Each structure stands twice: as C-alpha cells, then as structure tokens.
Structure 1
Amino acid sequence: MKRWLLVIPVALLLGLGVLGAYQLMQPDDESFVAKADRSAPERAFPLLDAPEQEISFATPPGDGPVMVNLFASWCAPCRAEHGDITSLAEEFPGQVYGLAYKDAPEATRAFLEELGNPFEQIGVDPSGQGGLDFGLTGVPETFVISEDGQIILHVRGPLDVERSQQVAEALGG
C-alpha cells in the first residue's frame, strides 16, 4: 500500500512536465509581434562591404520608416524567412536594411550570394552588442523604425506571411 503513495507524486510531476512541454510548444503567436515605442539604438554599425563607412538607425536613412532585420548565416530560421524579406524589399524599395549579427563577413557574403541580397545596406555587429541595444532576444528579429528614430514594431522570430503583412503596414504607414 505504501508503494502506491510514492507513485502519486511521481505521476503528478510527470503530468505537470507534459503540460508544461505542451504549453512551450504552443506559444501565443501574438507575443512574437509587439508594438514598440522606444528609441532605436545610437550605435553606428560598420557596413559589410565598406567597413570604413557606418550606418546608424537612430536617424534612419531615407524619408520614411525603415525595416532592420537582424540575421546570421548560421541561423536556419533566417534562411526560412529570406523569401519574405525579399518580397518586402521589392514592395518597399530603399526601406529594407540588414544587420549581420555575430557573423563573419565572409559567411554573410556567402549567405547573401546564395540566397540573394534584398537589403539596401547591411551593417555588421560582430560582438552582438548592437543587437542587445536593439533588444534582441535571438536571431532572426525584425524592427521597424520610424523616420524620427523610434522603434514602432518588433517582430521576434522569422517572418512569415502574417508577420510580413504587419511589417508592410508599419512601413507603409
């Protein structure tokens, strides 16, 4: 009889573990797209193909909002979202920028040579500090920055059709 009493706590723990794992596998998709209202980082990033030049998103280039996608060649979800980024770049010419996060320049160039380069310009963040300044939790992530340097949309994880639509609305508005 006493042995059965030992099974009850083990069964409860196992049940809670299964429930927790299920919840982790079924995240609320809305938590991955957030309206933001904070300043873009002041940090300037060297350009991939012209390291003597820099780009800063605190004062975004161009006349309207811009999208900044933080990506890396070693990131599988970055490959998966590349087509969506290319579509956005075609729809919003001059508004789509990239930031290579903790990636070797040669690897970034090979990645873009293989998949195509949809970005207007690409900054490099070899130490990862710039990504942290943005509020990055893991690549890929996409930020839409208003013309006055405010982050107005933050997309965690890879872009898909629905998330790309939200980015397009922010870029167009």
Structure 2
Amino acid sequence: MKRWLAAIPVALLVLFAGLALSQLLSPKKGEFERLSRAAPDRPFNTLDGGEIAFAPPPGNETIIVNLFASWCAPCEAEHPQLMALSERFPGRVYGVLYKDTAENGAEFLQRMGNPFARVAEDPDGQGGLDFGLTGVPETFVISSEGEILLHVAGPLGPDDVKEVSGALDTPRN
C-alpha cells in the first residue's frame, strides 16, 4: 500500500511534464505578439526595380509589412484579409516576397490581386530572419519610428484584421 502512495507524486510530475511539453511544441497560431523592437534597417530591392527600407517606414507613418510567398498555401488563404486591409489603409500595406522569384511573386499577385503599395524581394531569406520570421505568412505592424509594434504569426483571419487595424488606427507619439 505504501508503494502506491510513493508513486502518486511521480505520476503527477510525469503528467505535468507532459502537459508542459505539449504546450511548448504546439503554440496557438494567430496569437499576437506585442513587441517593441526595431524593424530591420536593411534596404530591400523591390519588384518595381527600386529599393525600400522599413526603419523608418515609407511616409513615416505606421505600416503593415506582410511576408509571403507564391508557393505558400496559407498565404493564398489570408490574401482576402490583406486586400481588406489595403482598402482600409491605402498605401500602408507592404509585402516582402520571401524565398521566391520575382516572376512567381508577380504571377501570384496578378492572379490574386495586389494589396501592396510596394513589394520587397527577399530571395535568400535573410530579410525574413532580420524581421524574426518563423515561417510565412507573417505580418508585422511597424510604427512611424521604425519599431515593430505587433507580430502576427500565421495567416491573418478576421480577428487579426481587427487587431492590426486597431494598431494602425492608434495614434503614436
């Protein structure tokens, strides 16, 4: 009988460790990460042959930067949300074509519609690493001072659009 009593704490410890491990290995996608760190200050080449940097962002206003790829199925799924954000905030939604070719990215945007004011190229993925990308698609809200205010991992959904819109509507000093 005493042997069973000694096994109870061990069983509880194993159960707790299993629950903790399951939470670490399967974080909930779509949860917002509120940040306050600088956006990458590197210049990116753009699909239109120019250059763009996001710290500070173009127009010195709070913007959205979405990292996407033509080969990414979740990027297609979130595209209507980006189109809606682009309609609500014209000229403030930017794209970064991650580990893809300019030709494939242009075809993707031709087929799906182009919500982006400009599209930066990141063929080797280094720009995504500079952002802190964990996998496409991911969306960042960048303040007029070049600080990342919000990071949404995974495809945008309707609730995400509300959160991102709120971050763009909030005046920053």
- In the alignment, the residues of structure 1 paired with residue 89 and residue 117 of structure 2 have an alpha-carbon distance, to the nearest angstrom, of 10
Q: Say if 1:37 and 1:152, in contact at 8 Å, map to a contact too.
A: yes
**Aligned partner letter, 1:44:** P
2:158 is aligned, of 128, 148, 161, to: 161
Q: How much is the aligned-residue C-alpha RMSD, in angstroms? A: 2.2
Determine the structure 2 residue equivalent to 1:56: 53
Query: 1:71 and 2:76 equivalent?
Result: no
The corresponding residue for 1:28 is 28
Shift of 1:59: 1.2
Alpha-carbon spacing, 1:20–1:149, altered in 2? closer, same or farther (3 Å): closer
1:112-159 Cα distance to aligned partner (Å, 9 max, x none):
010000100000000100000000000000000000000000000000
3-state SS of the aligned residue for 2:110?
Answer: helix
The CA distance in 2 between the partners of 1:20 and 1:34, in whole Å, is: 20
**For 1:131-170, what aligned pairs fall within 5 Å after superposition?**
131-170=128-167
Paired with 2:121 and 2:39, the residues of 1 have a C-alpha distance of 16
Question: How many Å separate the matches in 1 of 2:130 and 2:93?
Answer: 19
Aligned to 1:3: none
Q: Closer, same or farther in 2 for the Cα pair 1:25/1:76, shift >3 Å?
A: farther
Q: Give the aligned partner of residue 8 of structure 1.
A: none
Paired residues of 1:62 and 1:94 also in contact (CA < 8 A): no
- How many Å separate the matches in 2 of 1:25 and 1:128? 24
Match of residue 11 from structure 2: none
Aligned pairs, number: 155
The Cα offsets for residues 46-90 of structure 1, whole Å up to 9 and x where unpaired, read as 01121xx21000110124200000000000000000000000000
CA 104–76 in structure 1, closer or farther in 2 if over 3 Å, else same: same
Q: Distance in 1 between matches of 2:25 and 2:130?
A: 28
Q: Is the 8 A contact 2:29 2:153 kept in 1?
A: no
Provide the residue aligned with 1:115 in structure 2: 112
Identity of aligned residues (%): 53
Q: CA deviation at 1:28?
A: 3.4
Q: What displacement does 1:111 show?
A: 0.4
Show structure 1 runs of 4+ deviating over 3 A: 18-30
TM-score (norm 1): 0.82
**Quick one: which amino acid aligns to residue 48 of structure 2?**
D
TM-score, scaled relative to structure 2: 0.82
Residue 4 (structure 1) aligns with:
none
Q: Please, which of 112, 121, 124 is the counterpart of residue 127 of structure 1?
A: 124
Relative to structure 1, the CA distance from residue 114 to residue 25 in structure 2 (aligned partners, 3 Å threshold; closer, same or farther) is farther
Tell me the amino acid that sits aligned with residue 37 of structure 1: S
